[in-house]
Amino acid sequence: MSAEEAAAVSASPDVVVIDDVSKSFVIRKDNSIKERLVTMGRGKAHQERFDALKGVSFAIPAGSSIGLLGPNGSGKSTLLKIIGGIIDPSGGSVRRRGRLAALLELGAGFHPDLSGRDNVYLNASILGLTKEETDARFDSIVDFSEIGDFIDTQVKFYSSGMYVRLAFAVAVHTDPDVLLVDEVLAVGDEAFQRKCMDKIRQFQKEGRTIILVSHSASQVMEVCDTGVVLDRGHVAYIGSAAEATKAHREILEGRRKENVEAHEHNEDEGAARPSSRITGVTVFSQGEPATEVLTGSAIEVRITVDHDSDVDTWHSSLSIDTPHGQQVFGSGTRRQLTSHGPTDRGLSEVRYQFPHINFAGGQYFINVEIADGEGTPQDVLWQGATFFVPIEFRQTGTVNAEVSITDVSVD
């Protein structure tokens, strides 16, 4: 954003003011039918209050683009629903100005037994359009959604991608001042996601406000000027998108370390203690432990395993995920038609060497599993290590592929 645009944004009136918002849910603790029968009549004792949002306050100036970041369950979707007026806060208030359109849960606002056509009218009327206004925009909505003849099919037969395409098309055609987008966009195919991003950029140019929930640091950096990071229902950070993605990364790293510690603690309690256990996973770059690695560089993942007794053969496998949980790599001894061992009791180390880690910018998590010689799982460590590849403007996605773009004249 240019300084001029930044000044214009900061001088803009607030379109959304969130003041000390909290949200509690009541969760039943007894899950099985048997438990419910046993506790019948004493229901309250088995209910627990869960605070999904606590004392959230911030204002959103007109024309800004806000990215809501945070680990799973930190309250992003709940906050977006409260901003959109879909659910009420338990405490505090939200003031809104202008017309709001929200693209929240998949299929929210769609009636499964109605056709796409009827749902367009229903949805558009919920978002504040008259029938005449929808008539005038109908062809453009169908065009944008690329639904084609399926517009007269009941939406219960739609794929999740078709749902999102139609819902997004309706939302952006209602002329909203504020557009709320939850992670539903991740469902659509890459080409449609691009189209949505283009539309979002056009909205930004027109001075509309965008509030986007995302797990993707690169998406937030690409689209948003401001990032709000939630952690366990609190606002942990508000600032520039780049600084917010850094704060988000630090929180994820803190969570990951807690999980690894919990994993070690479970071992101490000796619950169903396997005979071999993963005791550590570390990423090395240029011979040093590293949390940040450059695309194309060499890395080594060192896994330490503790065996209770001597083992003849055993197996390991490793997978690498994005923060969305999408696997970008997976391999191990069985896939490589090999095995480890024989190995003496006590600590041993396995090294996975990657001469060129051709991942694009973003955060990656390493999961490790070990199994005995028969392939029976012994131990698994989710997110045993993490590394960050600096984000480059040149490309998106998870694979770093060299590309050159040339003009060719066509006669």
Ligand X SMILES: Nc1ncnc2c1ncn2[C@@H]1O[C@H](COP(=O)(O)OP(=O)(O)OP(=O)(O)O)[C@@H](O)[C@H]1O
Tell me the closest approach of the beta carbon of residue 357 to ligand X, in angstroms: 26
**Site size toward ligand X, by CB under 6 A:** 12
Whole-angstrom Cα distance, residue 217 to residue 227?
10
| 25 lies in the site for ligand X, by CB under 6 A | yes
Stretch that binds ligand X, among 68-76, 95-103, 308-316, 322-330 (CB under 6 A): 68-76
| Residues contacting 125, CB < 8 A, separation 6+ | 131, 134
Q: Whole-number minimum distance, CB 126 to ligand X, in Å?
A: 20
Minimum distance, C-beta of residue 122 to ligand X, in the bound complex (Å): 23
Phi, psi of 9 (to 5 degrees): -65, -45
Nearer to ligand X, 71 or 116 (CB): 71
CB contact set of 376 (below 8 Å; sequence gap of 6+): none
* Strand boundaries in 224-343, DSSP class E: 226-231, 234-240, 276-285, 288-289, 299-307, 314-321, 327-332
Per CB under 6 A, does 72 bind ligand X?
Answer: yes
Smallest gap from residue 233 Cβ to ligand X (A): 7
Of the pair 273, 324, the CB lying nearest ligand X is at 324
Q: What mask, x for binding ligand X by CB under 6 A, covers residues 77 to 116?
A: xx--------------------------------------
| Rounded Cα distance, 307 and 160, in Å | 46
Provide φ and ψ at 42, rounded to 5°. -120, 25
Nearer to ligand X, 231 or 369 (CB): 231
Min dist. Cβ of residue 54 to ligand X (A) = 11
Q: Does 378 bind ligand X (CB under 6 A)?
A: no
Stretch that binds ligand X, among 75-83, 216-224, 249-257, 379-387 (CB under 6 A): 75-83
- Please state, as a whole number, how many other Cβ atoms lie within 10 Å of the Cβ of residue 331: 13
Q: Which two tokens stand for residue 60?
A: 């959103």
Report, in Å, the least distance between residue 235 CB and ligand X: 13
User: Please, what's the b/e burial string for 298-319 (b: 16 or more CB within 10 A of its CB; e: otherwise)?
Assistant: ebbbbbebbbeeebeebbbbbb
| Distance (Å, whole) CA 233 – CA 54 | 5
Closest to ligand X by CB, 63 or 70: 70
Q: Which stretch binds ligand X (CB under 6 A): 71-79, 135-143, 286-294, 360-368?
A: 71-79
Which of 50, 157 has the CB closer to ligand X?
50
**143, two tokens:** 């065009």
Q: CB under 6 A: which stretch of 76-84, 262-270, 315-323, 336-344 binds ligand X? A: 76-84
Only segment of 31-39, 72-80, 111-119, 144-152 that touches ligand X (CB under 6 A): 72-80
DSSP string, 120-166: HHHHHHHTT--HHHHHHHHHHHHHHHT-GGGGGSBGGGS-HHHHHHH
Site residues, ligand X (CB under 6 A): 25, 27, 50, 52, 70, 72-78
